[in-house]
Amino acid sequence: MQISGLQISGTRVSLLTLKKQGDALHVLSFATLELKDGIIENGILKNPRELTTALIALKKMGKPKKIGSNYVVVGLPEELVYLTVKPFPSIEEDDIRDALELNLREFMPGDSEKIFWGFQSIKTKENAEVLLASVNHEALTAYLSVFANAKLTPVAVEPSSLASARAFKEISPSLLVDIDKKNVLVAAFSDKIVRYSNGFPFDGENLALTIKKIIGFYKSKRELESVDIIISGRVSADEISKLNKYTGENVLAAKEKLIFKNGEVSSPVVLGLAMRGLLEQKDDENLSLLPLGTAEGYEEKKALYSVGAIANLTTVVSILFIAIFIGFIVLLNYLSYSSDQQLSTLSSQKIDPQTTEAQKKLAALEPKVSYIKTISKGVSPIGDKIQGVTSAAPDGINLKSVTMAKDTSTIQAVGTAQDRDTLGVFKDGLIENKLFSKVDLISTSVTDTSVDFTINIAIKK
């Protein structure tokens, strides 16, 4: 599916869709729109209605072609995000999330139950690390509600600094300074990894002094003698030259380092977001701040669930399923009655070759009809597996959906637990069931009153 990059800052929103042909990148659609004052302040959404209106308008502005998809990778304002890199033992990828959850208070500031967070593992020649980011639960939920109202489906949400790192050829070690009309994004890179980031308001005064202080801080922290400064945004060539002399560092315009040198798209953030949109789901190992993980975000139903809209979808689907189910049972009863009547009539008549052939076909149909009847009565070959999941749920677990994969190899359970301990009891009960070979807790989202979860259960062969 086609996925665009959506950059959100305090002064503008931008939407970019790329197309890859061989090693070359081409703009499929690009649009940018200035925001009115007061819609976003210091990263916090202040006027959801105005932002919704702006995003709806932005979708219609795309050139050379209109935006053809509602799926987006979102870059959040840096002021909203906490980002850090921590050393971490080399363990299996599947075990990293569980280990981080147990020690989250040591890595992330604030109440762990009031944030959404994500991570990605980093493996260098020297050691293993994890890149961690978090965002306030209430702040992100406000944006997700706007996306839903604007008919946009996020498959991933990430800090703007992380997106910008993707947009450069070589940025090690470098300091990106992305200057907007009222905001500045500063991101320090090493080995194409964000080591430090910050976003702050900017009034146009003392930029050179501010940048020099940041350079000094970063060089001392990383024990560097020099660092390249990459300037992006509203800065002239003359100002870059002055910064070069004032800081004593190698100051470059971002366009000299961008992977994609198209004059129309100069922001490394929206470019990096759109480049992530080109990745196949299986290849996307970048962190996401969505309440569900990146992989789940690629499925529209689960992305909708992330913003609280799955309840409406579930209701519609349930009503539709019930209607189809009732109609199906009526059809089965009719087929059964019809076949019985035909067999009775045929048995009382003289049998000719054509009649014999009809009886054979009806006889072949009868086992299939009987099989479907058993399903309609609740007796299904896979029913014991589904029942094994539902029966393991203790008090305090509310299962919203239990679905089996098409290949019948796995079952996915989505629901809400009253607390982590109850969720742990549920998981242990599934592990003890002899019908299942593996149980993976693939995502959790903690609120003030509950824990939303998604569990994958492998069926024993």
CB-CB neighbours of 316 under 10 Å? 9
Phi/psi at 103 (5° precision): -115, 25
Cα–chain center distance at 361 = 51
Average pLDDT of the chain to the nearest whole number: 77
What residues contact residue 290 under an 8 Å CB cut-off, 6+ apart? 116, 118, 154, 155, 156, 157, 296, 297, 303, 306
Q: Is residue 269 pLDDT above 60, yes or no? A: yes
pLDDT at 274: 92
pLDDT at 271: 92
Q: Is residue 379 pLDDT above 70, yes or no? A: no
Find tokens 């990894």 and name the residue. Answer: 193
Find tokens 């703009």 and name the residue. Answer: 27
Burial environment of residue 260 by CB neighbours within 10 A (0 to 12, 13 to 18, 19 or more):
buried
User: Which CATH superfamily, name and number, covers 383-459?
Assistant: General secretion pathway protein M, EpsM (3.30.1360.100)
Q: Is residue 451 pLDDT above 50, yes or no? A: yes
Residues in the chain: 461
Which is nearest to 91 in space by CA: 128, 132, 131, 119?
128
- Per-residue pLDDT of 109-150, as tens digits, reads 778 788 888 888 887 666 778 888 999 999 999 999 999 999
E strands in 359-435: 397-404, 410-417
Q: Which residues pair with 175 in a beta bridge?
A: 188, 229
The residue ranking higher by pLDDT, 283 or 369, is 283
Domain limits of the chain? 311-376, 383-459
Burial environment of residue 404 by CB neighbours within 10 A (0 to 12, 13 to 18, 19 or more):
middle
Mean pLDDT of 229-249: 81
* The one-letter amino acid at 150: A
Q: Are 366 and 339 in contact (CB under 8 A)?
A: yes
Mean pLDDT of 285-300: 64
- Per-residue pLDDT of 12-41, as tens digits, reads 999 999 988 887 888 899 999 999 999 999
The residue ranking higher by pLDDT, 432 or 306, is 432
Overall pTM > 0.75: no
CB-CB neighbours of 394 under 10 Å? 13
- Per-residue pLDDT of 242-260, as tens digits, reads 888 888 888 888 877 888 7
pLDDT at 57: 94
Share of residues in the chain with pLDDT > 70 (%) = 76
